Amino acid sequence: MTHTATVALATQEVLERAKRFFAERIPHVAAFVEREGPGFLVLRGQGGEEVVFSVRADGGGGGGGGGRSHAGAGIDPVLRPSGGPVLLDPAACLRRGGRMTAVEARIPVRVMVTDVWDQIPLAVAPTTTIAELKRQALTEALKRDGIPLRDYVVKFRGAQVLDEGTTLAALGAGPNSPFIVLPARRQPVR
């Protein structure tokens, strides 16, 4: 996947901002400098993905760029996943002032709801709490709102999660992590 954009920044400033963004923005999916040189930067993510920035000075007003009226840096980031999905999308509304938008990373998780004996796939942010995950899974599985959440518990890696204010990132949940939502009290067999 290749994104090309023009921004009103010096080429070195573009590379510095890219390094800061990918190192600090979302720590568990951060990308770190692998190689850099004049006009390029190669970042490597923890999952093996590679993000390459090729930056060049652009005189502006040239052809093919929609009639740019200012000089700036042209950015050609190339995203090449090599071990898993790239969770960051540097797509932007760049023609209006050279700004990039950050998309909150979402990870897929699987939640088994034993009341309906069904597995619910959810895409949630790493900052999602266990209580919110439980609410989303029960609402999706049982197809109704107003479910008494205190009547259900969540298990992760075989153990009950006692503090439901804990986030998925704090638990160490990654993509496709399995959770189980089950009644807090044992159900009689009928």
Identify the structural domains of the chain with CATH numbers, from first to last.
Answer: 5-80 (no CATH), 107-183 (3.10.20.90)
Q: What is the pLDDT of residue 85?
A: 45
Strand partners, 79: 51
Model pLDDT for residues 135-165, shown as the tens digit of each residue: 999 999 998 888 899 999 999 998 999 999 9
Query: What is the DSSP secondary structure assignment for residue 84, as one 8-state letter?
Result: S
Amino acid letter, 45: G
Predicted local confidence at residue 46, as pLDDT:
67
Closest CA to 6 of 95, 101, 117, 103: 95
pLDDT (0 to 100) of residue 96: 45
The model's pTM is: 0.47
